[in-house]
Structure formats: structure tokens, C-alpha cells
Structure 1
Amino acid sequence: MESIYRLNKVVRILNNLRLGVNANLKNAVSVRNFTVSSLKCDLMDFFDDKKNWGAKEVKCGRSWTKEELRLKSNEDLHKLWYVLLKERNMLLTMEEECNAQVKLFPSPERLDKVADSMENLETVVRERNKAYHQLETGETGERPGRVETGAFGIRYYYKMCEYPLPKEMNTKWKQKYKFYKYDKDVEDFLVKYREKLYLSKRRKATRDFNHVIGLLNRYPNMDMEALKQQYPDVDIEKAKRSRKYGGHFAPQ
């Protein structure tokens, strides 16, 4: 009899606990947990989900924009960076595997979206670091640098950094960074290089000008403001005065 009494007591306690848990669940506020990928403790973490193996297309969302990332906290940005880094490693592994098996990598634009997201995230973090350092020290906190001229006479932005050895004794630094000194061959190269840049720029301007004339002939009622915004370097009025304007295209 005593054992039956104890068993009934345990049953009553369990029922009370079950009723209490159900009441707390009804009164609880629904929240969304932080979404993460499935936990894997082996090398399969570098591969995509098995349901995507052999697929011709893998649906994915767009990249993170700067406006969205600016609303995130530093902790969320830190977590998101490692999520993107893990996704990039997985995509690179899958791309290499597809190349080894002579197969097409499905949806290669995923790599571009991840790269854009990581670049935007770095930009947002750099903005916050600059704002913090300017508030505390009055400086940006960025690595100092200067505009230098390389060995081939091309100018670039050189970022300074600290070295344990003086510049005169650092042979590796001298081999890696060779700044410009006057050389007749380099000057001849720069003349031809600048000529090539000028001709490329001129050809691009001619292509854009002819393309705008073609658009005006095909769509005479198009929005001129949108056309100017897309081709700011093209003179629309000059294009209308061209002999190519008003060709054999029938107005739509």
C-alpha cells in the first residue's frame, strides 16, 4: 500500500509539472532564433548540402547591402563575417571539385554575392573604426600611406607599416618595393602606355556616342534624364545633331 501511495504521489507531481510547463508555453513570446548552419565535425563541412550535388542551379538570395549592415551590431557583424567566410570556403571547395570532375559549377554567382557581402561588411566596420578613432583621438586610425611611383613609372598608393629592421638594413623590403628612378626605357614605355590609355578612352567614348545615337533612333520617346544618367559623358544634344541620328529605324 505504501508503494502505491508513493507512485500516486509521483504521478501527481508529474502532472502538475506538465500543466505548469504548458501554461508557460502559452504565455511565452514567440522569438526567432539565430539561424546557423548544421553542426558538422568532419571535412563534409567544406562541401555543399548533398541535395545540391549534381543540380544545375542552386537558388540563393542576394548579397548584403551596406544599408542593411549598418543596422547590425558589432557582435552580429562578427558572427556574419564567419558565416560568410564559411560559405566562401564551401563554394571554393565545390568549385574545385566540379573542375576536377569536369562538371559545371552550379550558380557561380554565389561566389560574387559572398564577395560583395564581405566587401560591404569590411566597409561598414572600417566606417565605425574611423568614427571611433576620430572621436577619441581626432585621427582616422587607418594605416598611413603616400602616393609613390613604381619601378615602371606607374603611380600607386603605398601603405606604410612597421618593420623590426631599419629601411637601410631591410633587404627584403628593398627587393619588394622598388620606386622609380629615371630610366630612358621606362620613359619610352610610359609614352606608349599613356597613348594606349588615351586610345582606349577615346574608343570607349566613340562606342558610347554611337550607342546613344542608336538608342535615340530606336526609341525617340525615351526618357532623356535616364539616358543622361546612364551615359553622363555623352553629349545628348550633339548626338541629335549627328548625321547618324534619324536613320532608317521606324518610330515605335
Structure 2
Amino acid sequence: MIEIIPAIDLREGKCVRLFKGAIGTETCYYENPVDALTHWKDAGATRIHIVDLDAATGIGSNKDIIERLVSFAGKDISIQVGGGIRDESIANAYIDIGVSKIVIGTAAVQDPRLIEKLSRRHGSGKIIVALDHKDGMVQVKGWTEDSGKNVYDMARSMENHGAGAILFSSVEADGAFTGPDLKGTRIMVNTISIPVIAAGGVRNLGDVASLNDAGAAGVIIGKALYEGKIDLPSAFRLFSPGTKKK
């Protein structure tokens, strides 16, 4: 059964959502991200996906806020963090402050050996590789550049280098309420043997059910939760593994 993971995206210290990943299109939902974490915790979440949008695009960092969120979450909520994790030292620093899983995109695509090093040090279960695609090609540097690499070939490579899971998302679907990339998710699930976490485009619980049927191990949901399109407690009742800590 699929695990439901609420998202908290950070931009200039605030909890926001972007449209198709484009900086400048953000909608602010919480001035204080701790309030967002509290809201999802009270709704029953036990795992949260945090993205530092400023670090991902190389224009800043929200590391201090992430530290505060990890501290606030305590042992009740597992925190996974992505965005701007470009080298081993940054990844190790996040693990050291209590982040349960790190999500690496651009750096993994540019240097798969980084995934080998991190999986050897921390275990593959703590390493998620994010592969964001547009028309089947991996996008990097905060979705601003096309890597020229096929997303499914890259997923196989990341599995071979020690990734514990693949976070698979369509740039075109992100924040657009157009529905998730079901076809791509099915292909990805059949391409690799490690878990696939889907993200982008989820509108309602029907989409979550479709991703479950497609074989996704988890789904990261942002805008649909913030806009009230999905009631999180109801979702957890339907997809019970989302209430269990991973």
C-alpha cells in the first residue's frame, strides 16, 4: 500500500508551492514553516518531505529553518530533505542533525559515485535519488537545465550505485493539478527493483489510488493538501501504511 508524504517547500524562509517548478510563481501558505509541520503532524503525518528551493537554485539556504523543523519533529516524524545537496559534506551534515533520509538530484546525476559513498557510509535506506523529468529527460539545477540523460537509464544507474529509492516526478505536472505521470510511474516501477516514490500533479485521492495501482511505494503531495483538495486524515484511513513511521 502506498505511503502518503506531505511536502514542505521552503523559499526565503516560508512554506510555499511553485507552479511547474518555476521560481517566481510561488504561493505562500505559511509564513512560519513550523506551523505547516504542526498542521500535518496533527493530521497524522509521520513522514515529511522538505525541499530547500533556495539551495536547489543556488540562491540561498534554509538550513537553519530545516534544523528547527527537525528539532521540532523529534521522534514523532521522520524528515527527509532535498534541494541543494551537492556534495558529501552537506549530506553528512543533514544526517548528523537528525534528518532520516536525504534526497539528492543534480549531484547524483553529475557524479553517481557520490551515491556510492553515501550509501556505504549511511546505508542505502537513507539515500533517495530524485529524478525530475521533462519528456523523459532528467532535469537538473532546480529544473533549470536539461541533463541530456534518459530518466529510466539514470534510474538503473542510480540503483546500481546504491540508491535506496527513486523519487520520480514530472516537471510539467508539478503544482499544475493535471494529474500524476501514471504511464511514466509504471515504466519506472518496472525498470528498477528499489522503491519508487511519485511526485507531481496529484489532484485527489483517485490519483493516489491510481499511483498505488501503478506500483508506487509512496507519493509526495503538496498543493492538493494546501488547497484542501485532499483531506489528509481521510487519506491515511484509506492508505493505512502512511500512518506508520518509516
> Which has more helix, going by share of residues?
1
Higher relative contact order (CA 8 A, sep 6+): 2
TM range (shorter): under 0.3
Larger Rg: 1
Which is richer in strand? Answer: 2
TM-score under structure 2 length normalisation: 0.19
Question: TM-score, with normalisation over the residues of structure 1?
Answer: 0.19
